[in-house]
Amino acid sequence: MNEQSTAAMDVALAYHRAWTSHDFDRAMTYIAEDIVCQAPAGRLAGADAFRGFMGPFAQMLTRSNLVAAFGDDEKAVLMYDTDTVPVQDAPGAECLTVAGGKITHMRIIFDRLPFEAARRAASTGEAAGGE
């Protein structure tokens, strides 16, 4: 079977469209089995660890707007605004490395503080950002 090389930008956008449209299984078809993901919570290695991290976020997504996308045949950078069930206005950015049509490395940047505040508020029964 011939594997056609796909530009990183094409793969990154296809991955982004899939997870932001709540088709995380399709999004995972763009992820390499041995992906390394650097996220605010730490380093994740392998597709299963990545799914465990990103899957729940994709499920709570209520809106996404792609702000900018840049890339070439090996790397792509996406910046986006998202709204989720617990946190409105949660911007994020990803730098993705692609080889053989799969994302092999991802660095995700986002602010964890609003999500932690929402978790604390939910556990105490208060509204996030409460009085």
Cβ-count burial of 105 within 10 angstroms (0-12 exposed, 13-18 middle, 19+ buried)?
middle
On whether residue 131 sits in a domain, the answer given is: no
Has residue 2 been placed in a domain? no
Gyration radius of the chain over CA positions: 15
Range of the domain at 71: 8-124
69 is a domain residue? yes
pLDDT tens, 9-33? 999 999 999 999 999 999 999 999 9
Residue 37 lies in a domain: yes
What is the amino acid identity at position 126? E
Q: Which two tokens stand for residue 89?
A: 């206005």
Residue 116 lies in a domain: yes
Asked if the model's pLDDT at residue 119 lies above 90, the reply is no
From edge to edge, which strands make up the β-sheet containing 61-71? 42-45, 31-39, 102-110, 92-99, 75-84, 61-71
Q: How many CB atoms lie within 10 A of CB 117?
A: 16
Greatest distance between any 2 Cα atoms in the chain: 61
Q: Total domain count for the chain?
A: 1
CATH number of the CATH domain containing 53? 3.10.450.50
pLDDT computed for residue 6 by the predictor: 59
Mean pLDDT, rounded, of the chain: 87
Q: Which of 81, 15, 86 is nearest to 6 (CA)?
A: 15
| Residue 48 included in any domain | yes
Confidence of residue 3 (pLDDT cuts 50, 70, 90): very low
